Amino acid sequence: MPDLHIDADGHLASDLRCAGCTYNLRGRPVEGECPECGQPVSTAITYAIASGRFGVVSSIAPPAAD
């Protein structure tokens, strides 16, 4: 079971379908809404974890400074 990744800016870094309309929410802010139907992104995250599609939510660290 894969992890659900969130980038350093708080955006989804994994493919995740909206629970309301199946729009791909990758790149959307986790505190935002689906641009197609207005369903909260958090609802899709909760549903995906509860249904066993993803194991845990993990953050992707920002790139190291040169």
Report pLDDT digits (tens) over 13-52: 999 999 999 999 999 999 999 999 999 999 999 988 888 8
pLDDT surpassing 90 at residue 63: no
Sorting pLDDT into bands at 50, 70 and 90, what band is 65? Answer: low
Domain ranges of the chain: 1-66
Q: Show the tokens assigned to 35.
A: 């641009």
The answer to whether the beta carbons of residues 26 and 14 sit under 8 Å apart is yes
pLDDT value at residue 23 = 97
pLDDT value at residue 62 = 55
pLDDT value at residue 32 = 96
Cα–Cα distance measured from residue 49 to residue 57, given in angstroms and rounded to the nearest whole number: 8
